[in-house]
Amino acid sequence: MSRFDTNFDEMRYATRAVKSGEGPDPVTRAMNTPIYETSTYGYETAEQYDEMLARGAKWEPDLYIYSRTTNPTTTALEKKVIALENAEDAVITACGMAAISNALLANLNTGDHVICSDDTFMCTSSMFEDILPSKGVETSRVEILDLANIEKAMRPNTKVVYLEALSNPQLKLANIPEIAKLAHSHGCKFIVDNTFLSPCVMRPLDWGADIVVHSGTKYYVGHGDALCGIIAGRKKEMDRVRFYYDNLGSHISPFDSWLTLRSVRTMPLRLRQQSESAMTLARWFETREEVDFVTYPGLESHAQHELAKKIFVNGLYGGMLCVHLKGGYEEMCKFADATRIPPIATSLGDVVTLMFPKKAYNNLIRISTGCEDVNDLIADFEQAFEALKK
């Protein structure tokens, strides 16, 4: 057996992140997966092409006819995601909302009902409050932390329970194992958005979710230079998703797939640094008299801290924290404007620390920790607090 035939998917997590789905190019022996910038693929005979079309209808892997459907660069990324999510199959989309849309549309039809958490990303909220209802899908938004709310919202036509594992922006941690049992007892599919944690911190499929989605733009890419969406689960589920993905044209570009492949190799390293910095910052912010409260699942003060200890892995709690200053909008703006290292920006998961002041959430400041030295971040936030006094 060649050294390149080794099954890296059975090795430890950091090794999988580096090795799974990739190897030397069979033609050139190039170590990096090539960017297959092609729209179509040529065959020698009409009979061979007809055979490929028939196989393509069954979503067989490593079959290439047209890059809207499959592309070798993207296939390599899919294989890596499968290894990292503990999934049977994965689909890579153009962005996170494409992943969410395809996962929902593949499982909901006119007349169906879906239950969704009341704390989600704004475009996800629009999907449940505007898009799905306009297509005849009933939706219920519930406080997802209380299982009784989900049970009460169940209807005979409920098909899907959807939530963010760690919610945006309030960082509520859903009890995924118990919600999975509840959803399945009612014959529902359970879809979890794990963008805020990444598979380095928690893997929803291990705890009973049917489908996991990510805005891969965040922790999978992690460098702020590519858009990517991730869907993973059982092959039967992913075959259905691929049907919608192909028809809706939700494919990612080969170049963005390549950028994501490059980035995933360091995701375990990045998440460890970001998680350690977030814990240090969260504890430091808790000591500040200017701070009303800090939300971070690694803190004992977080309402679901014990649950986090149970379902998170490697002693990591993620790179996201929220800080609420005493005062109001003026204090939030003055503090944010005085910082020098983190830009005020949307998105998260970047190697650069990002800060997102949220007036709509009672002046909450969402911080996505990057990979800078945490002592420099503390010094920066220290001088920003000094600016509040002037």
pLDDT of residue 325: 96
Identify the CATH number of the domain in which residue 320 sits.
3.90.1150.10
Judge whether residue 383 has pLDDT over 80.
yes
Could you tell me the pLDDT band of residue 5, with boundaries at 50, 70 and 90?
low
Last residue of a domain, one of 264, 295, 315: 264
Kindly state whether residue 65 falls inside one of the protein's structural domains.
no
Do 169 and 28 have their domain in common? yes
- The amino acid occupying position 212 is V
Last residue of a domain, one of 264, 292, 323: 264
Q: Which pLDDT tens digit goes with each residue over 178-237?
A: 999 999 999 999 999 999 999 999 999 999 999 999 999 999 999 999 999 999 999 999
For 360, counting Cβ atoms within 10 Å of its Cβ (0-12 exposed, 13-18 middle, 19+ buried), the class is exposed
pLDDT of residue 308: 98
- β-pairing verdict for 320-325 and 291-295: antiparallel
Number of structural domains (the chain) is 2
Judge whether residue 1 has pLDDT over 60.
no
Do 356 and 335 have their domain in common? yes
Do 235 and 284 have their domain in common? no
Kindly state whether residue 118 falls inside one of the protein's structural domains.
yes
Kindly state whether residue 166 falls inside one of the protein's structural domains.
yes
Do 152 and 23 have their domain in common? yes
Judge whether residue 63 has pLDDT over 80.
yes
Last residue of a domain, one of 230, 264, 298: 264
Percentage of the residues of the chain whose pLDDT score is greater than 90: 85
Kindly state whether residue 63 falls inside one of the protein's structural domains.
no
pLDDT of residue 262: 95
Do 255 and 309 have their domain in common? no
Kindly state whether residue 103 falls inside one of the protein's structural domains.
yes
Judge whether residue 367 has pLDDT over 90.
yes
Q: How many CA atoms lie within 13 A of 178 on its CB side?
A: 13
Do 297 and 215 have their domain in common? no
Do 18 and 132 have their domain in common? yes
Q: Which residues pair with 92 in a beta bridge?
A: 230
Are 102 and 248 in contact by the 8 Å Cβ rule? The answer is yes
Judge whether residue 327 has pLDDT over 60.
yes
Judge whether residue 310 has pLDDT over 90.
yes
What is the Cα–Cα distance from 360 to 310, expressed in whole angstroms?
A: 32
Per the model's pLDDT, the better-predicted residue between 175 and 314 turns out to be 175
Judge whether residue 3 has pLDDT over 70.
no
Are 56 and 237 in contact by the 8 Å Cβ rule? The answer is no
Do 287 and 363 have their domain in common? yes
Q: Which pLDDT tens digit goes with each residue over 104-142?
A: 999 999 999 999 999 999 999 999 999 999 999 999 999
Eight-state DSSP code of residue 7: -
Do 232 and 201 have their domain in common? yes
For 287, counting Cβ atoms within 10 Å of its Cβ (0-12 exposed, 13-18 middle, 19+ buried), the class is exposed
pLDDT of residue 361: 87
Identify the CATH number of the domain in which residue 200 sits.
3.40.640.10
Owner of token pair 């809706």: 248
What is the Cα–Cα distance from 296 to 302, expressed in whole angstroms?
A: 6
Do 279 and 199 have their domain in common? no
Do 22 and 90 have their domain in common? yes
Do 211 and 315 have their domain in common? no
Long-range contacts of 202-205 (CB under 8 A, 24+ apart): 202/165, 202/311, 202/312, 202/313, 203/85, 203/86, 203/313, 204/165, 204/176, 205/85, 205/86, 205/87, 205/232, 205/233
What is the Cα–Cα distance from 109 to 122, expressed in whole angstroms?
A: 22
Judge whether residue 26 has pLDDT over 90.
no
State the chain's mean pLDDT as an integer: 94
Q: Which pLDDT tens digit goes with each residue over 260-270?
A: 999 999 999 99
pLDDT of residue 36: 94
Kindly state whether residue 271 falls inside one of the protein's structural domains.
yes
pLDDT average, residue stretch 142-167: 97
pLDDT of residue 103: 98
Kindly state whether residue 53 falls inside one of the protein's structural domains.
no
pLDDT of residue 360: 83
* Domain extent for 370: 267-389
Kindly state whether residue 105 falls inside one of the protein's structural domains.
yes
